[in-house]
Structure 1
Amino acid sequence: MSGTEPKATTTDIDTPKPPLGDRVRAAISSRIGEGLERDRKGLGSIGRAGVATAVAYLFAHFVWGHQFPFFAAIAAFVIIGVSSTEKKVRKVLEMSTGVMCGVLLGELARATIGSGTWQIAVVVVTAGLLARLIDSGIVFTMQMSIQSLLVTVMPLTPSMSPGGRILDALTGVVVGILVHLLTSGDPRRGQQSAAHSLYRALEDALTQMSLAARTGDVKVASAALSQIRTTSQELVDEWRIANNAAEEIATFSPTHLRRAGDVGRLQHLLIGSDRAVRNVRVIARHEVAFLESVKGRSSHARLADALLAAHDAAVALREAVDSDGDFTDARRALRIFCSYLTPETMLRSDDGTRLGRVDHFEGVALVIQLRSLAIDLLEATGLDHRDAQRFLPSLLIAADGDTIGPRPLTREMSAVEPPATTEALELLITDRSDPDRRRG
C-alpha cells in the first residue's frame, strides 16, 4: 500500500451506550423522582381535598341524617380539587351552579322518563346543550353534565329524596369553600415563587447579553434572545395566576386579611416586571442587530457593564420580593444602571473607535430601549412615570468634538427635560465628558 491508514480519532469512535439494564433503572429512577416532586408540590391541595370530603360527608350524615350523602363528598372534592394556584371564587360559582343545575336536571329526568340506557344519552345531551346555552364555561358544562348523569344512574336510597341530594351538594360546596379559605397558607408564597422564577430568567438573559457585548459574539446574544422568548411569557402568566389566587385569599380568608397590602405590592410589581421582560426581548433583538452591524470589529465593555448593572438591579428587585416591599436597594442599583444610559457613555468601543452611521443608529436604538427598561423597573418599585424619568441622564447634551449624541441644548429642548431632585441625580444628567457643565 502506498500509504498508511489514518488513525482513528476520538470523534470517529461512537460513545458506547450504557447497558440496557442501567438505562431502564435510570429511566425508572427519573420517573419516580419526578413523581415524588409532583407529590410534594401537590400535598397541600390533596390533603385539603381529603379533609373537605370527609367533613362534608360526616356533616351531611350526622346533621341532615342522610344515610349515604355521596353528593356532599363529591361537591367538596370538586371545589378543593381545582389547582391551588388558580382563582377559585369564579370557578366555585361556576361549579356550584353547575352542580345544582345538574342535580335538578337529573331529578327532573328521573321523575319523568326514568333511568336506563337511552335515558342516560338524553340526559347528557340535554345537560350539555342547556349548559352551553346558559354559560360558555367548560367547568360549568362539565359539572352540569356529570351531576345530572350521576343522579340518573345512581340508585335511590331509602333516606334520599330529590331535595336531599340538592342539600348534600350545597353542603359540599360550602364545606369546600370554608376549608379552602381557612387552610390556605400565606397568600404571598405563590407570588414570591413566581416572581423569583421570572427574575432569575431575566438575570440569566442579561448575563448572556453582557457576555455577548464584551466578546462581540452574536451567537451568545441570539441564544439570550431565544431563551427569553421561550420562557418569559409562561413565567409572567404563572405570576398573574398566583396574584389572582393571593388576592382572593387576602380578601376572603379571615386568617390572611392582614396580608392584603403585601399582596397588592406584589401585584403592582408584576406590571412593571412584565413590561421589563417584554423590553428585554426587544433589547436582545437590538443587541443582535448592533453586534451584526459592527461585525465583531471591537468589543463594548461599557455596554457590557450597563447590562451587568441591569442584572444587579434585577437581583435587588428579586431580593426585595421577600423584604415586605422595601425597594431601597433596588432603586440604588437602578440608579447605577441609569448612569450608563447615554449614547456617548455606552457606544464608544474599547479601543476608542467611533461608530459609522449605520452602527450608530443601531446603537442608539439599543440605548433608548435600555432607558425604557430602566423606567419599567423603576415604576415596578412604586415610582410614577415622572419620578422614574428623573433617574435617567440627559440625552440633550452640548456637542463636543469627540461626543456622540445630539446637537447643543436649546431653550425649547431644555423644557422637556425632567428636573433633577437631588445633587446625585444632577450629576447623572450632566455631560460626563465635562463634569463642570450643568444644564442651564
Structure 2
Amino acid sequence: MAKLRIGTLERLRQLEGSLESRALRVRKRFFRIVQVAVAAGVSFWVAQSLIGHPVPFFAPITVIIILGLTGGDRIRRALELSFGVVVGVGLGDLLVHYTPDGLWKIPLIVGISLLVASFLSKSPLVSNQAAIGSILIATILPPGTEGGGPDRMLDAFVGAAIGLLTIALLPSSPVNSGREEVSKLLGIGSSVLDDVALALDTRDADALDQALEAVHDTQADINNMLSAAEVGRELTLLSPLLWGSRRRVRSLERILPAVESMIRNSRVLARRAQVLCRDRDTASTRLVNIVDELADVAASLSDVFDVRTPSNEAQDIPDLVRRLQVIGSRTGIDAVSEGAVLSEYVILAQARSITVDLLEVCGWSRESATSALAPTSQTPGYPPEMWPGIGDQ
C-alpha cells in the first residue's frame, strides 16, 4: 500500500479539467459552428438558386435544427422533423383560410395541428414541428406571402437533405467520443477502488464519502457513453467515409455494458466497504490487495482508451488480461479472513464481478471471463480455465 494515491474527486478534476481536454472541446465547438454555418448557407443557396424559391427561410432553419440534434437516431429524427414541418405548413395554409380571426384562432389551429400529427405519428418531434409550422403560417407568414404554400414544404425537405448530407460528408470521429467516455468512467472506477483499498487498509470509513459521492453522480457519464456509441454507429451507416470504421464501432459497443456494470459494482463495493469500516470489522490483506490491483488495472485500461494518450493496445491489453487472470485465480473463498463477516464476503463477490467486467472490457466473452475466476462451488457453471501456479505469480 505504499503507492501514491489520488482521491476520486481530484481524479475527476484531472479527467475533466486538463488543458488538452479543453483545447479539444474548443476545436470541436469551432468545427460545429463552421459546419452549421456552411450547411445553412448551402441549403439557402440550393433552395433559392437551383429550385427558384425567392425566400427559402425554412431550408436553413431545418438544417440548424437537424444539426443541433444530439444523440443517435438523427436520420430518423431528421425525417420526423421534415414530416412535422410539412404537416404544420400544410395544415397552417389550409386552416388559416377556414378559421376566422379572433383570440381563439391560434389555440384552434395549434390544437387541430397537434391532433392530426398525433394520428400520423407518435413522435413528439412531429407534433412539435407541426404546431410550430402552423403558428408561423397563421401569424407572420400567412398564405399569399412570397414563398408560401408547397414551396415551404419543399424548402423543409431541402434543409433536411442538406443537414444529413453535411453529417455524411463532414463527420466527426465515430469512436473518439465513445472512447473518451469509456476512459473517463474507467478512471472514476479506478479511483473509487483505490479509495476503497485505502479505507480498508486504514479502517477509515470517512475516506469513502467522496468516492461514493463521485460514483453516485456517474449516470450522466454513462448516458454520454451510450449516446456517443449510438452516434458513432449512426455515422458509420450514414457516411461512406466511415464505412471502414464499422468494426471498431461494433467492438466499442460490445464493451459498453461491461463498463457500466463495472461502475455499478464499484458503487456497491464502496458502500459495503464503508459499512465494514464503520462496523470496525477488518478485511484480509489478500482481499485488500485484490481491490488495490483491480484499481491499478482499471487505471491502466483508462489510459489505453484515452484518445489523448498514445498507447499500444496490441501489447497493453494482453498484459492487462494476464494480470486479471492472476487476480481472478486469487478470488476464491480463502481470500477472506477467518471468521469473516458478511460485508467482507460481499466485497469479495463484488471484486470477482469487477474482475469479470474488466476482462470483458479487454474483449473477453462473459463466459470466458467468469471461467477465469477461482471456483467457489463444487459444480461451477463455468469450469475454471486456469493452469497450475497462476495464482502464485
| Partner in structure 2 of residue 267 of structure 1 | 253
| Partner in structure 1 of residue 358 of structure 2 | 377
Larger Rg belongs to? 1
Structure 1 position 340 matched with structure 2 position 330: yes
Match of 2:75 among 73, 89, 102: 89
Match of 2:318 among 328, 336, 339: 328
Return the structure number with greater relative CO, CA threshold 8 A, min gap 6: 2
Instruction: Check the 8 A contact 1:206/1:310 in 2, yes or no.
Output: yes
Q: CA deviation at 1:252?
A: 1.3
Q: Which whole-Å CA distance do the structure 2 matches of 1:38 and 1:300 have between them? A: 44
Q: Which whole-Å CA distance do the structure 2 matches of 1:181 and 1:133 have between them? A: 32
Structure 1 position 42 matched with structure 2 position 29: yes
| Partner in structure 2 of residue 163 of structure 1 | 150
| Partner in structure 2 of residue 420 of structure 1 | 385
Q: What one-letter code is carried by the residue in structure 2 that aligns with 1:318?
A: S
| Partner in structure 2 of residue 212 of structure 1 | 199
Q: Within 5 Å, which residues of 2 pair with 1:220-299? A: 220-229=207-216, 231-293=217-279, 295=280
Instruction: Check the 8 A contact 1:45/1:81 in 2, yes or no.
Output: no
Cα root mean square deviation, aligned: 2.8
| Partner in structure 1 of residue 13 of structure 2 | none
State percent identity of aligned pairs.
25
| Counterpart secondary structure, 1:69 | coil
Q: Which runs of no fewer than 5 residues in structure 1 stay unpaired?
A: 1-34, 349-353, 397-412, 436-440
Give CA-to-partner distance per residue, 1:141-160, whole Å, 9 cap, x none: 22111112222221567763
Instruction: Check the 8 A contact 1:290/1:362 in 2, yes or no.
Output: yes
Q: Within 5 Å, which residues of 2 pair with 1:45-194? A: 45-83=32-70, 85-113=71-99, 118-153=104-139, 154-155=141-142, 160-194=147-181
| Counterpart secondary structure, 1:426 | coil
Q: Which runs of no fewer than 5 residues in structure 2 stay unpaired?
A: 1-21
Q: What one-letter code is carried by the residue in structure 2 that aligns with 1:420?
A: E
Match of 1:316 among 300, 305, 312: 300
C-alpha change, 1:39 and 1:385, in structure 2 (3 Å) is closer
Q: CA deviation at 1:257?
A: 0.8
Give CA-to-partner distance per residue, 1:312-346, whole Å, 9 cap, x none: 2212322333569643233123224324323433x
Q: Which whole-Å CA distance do the structure 1 matches of 2:384 and 2:371 have between them? A: 7
Q: CA deviation at 1:118?
A: 4.6
Q: What one-letter code is carried by the residue in structure 2 that aligns with 1:239?
A: M
Structure 1 position 303 matched with structure 2 position 290: no
TM-score, scaled to structure 1: 0.75
Q: CA deviation at 1:139?
A: 2.1
Count residues with an aligned counterpart: 365
| Partner in structure 1 of residue 373 of structure 2 | 392
Instruction: Check the 8 A contact 1:221/1:284 in 2, yes or no.
Output: yes
Instruction: Check the 8 A contact 1:272/1:376 in 2, yes or no.
Output: yes
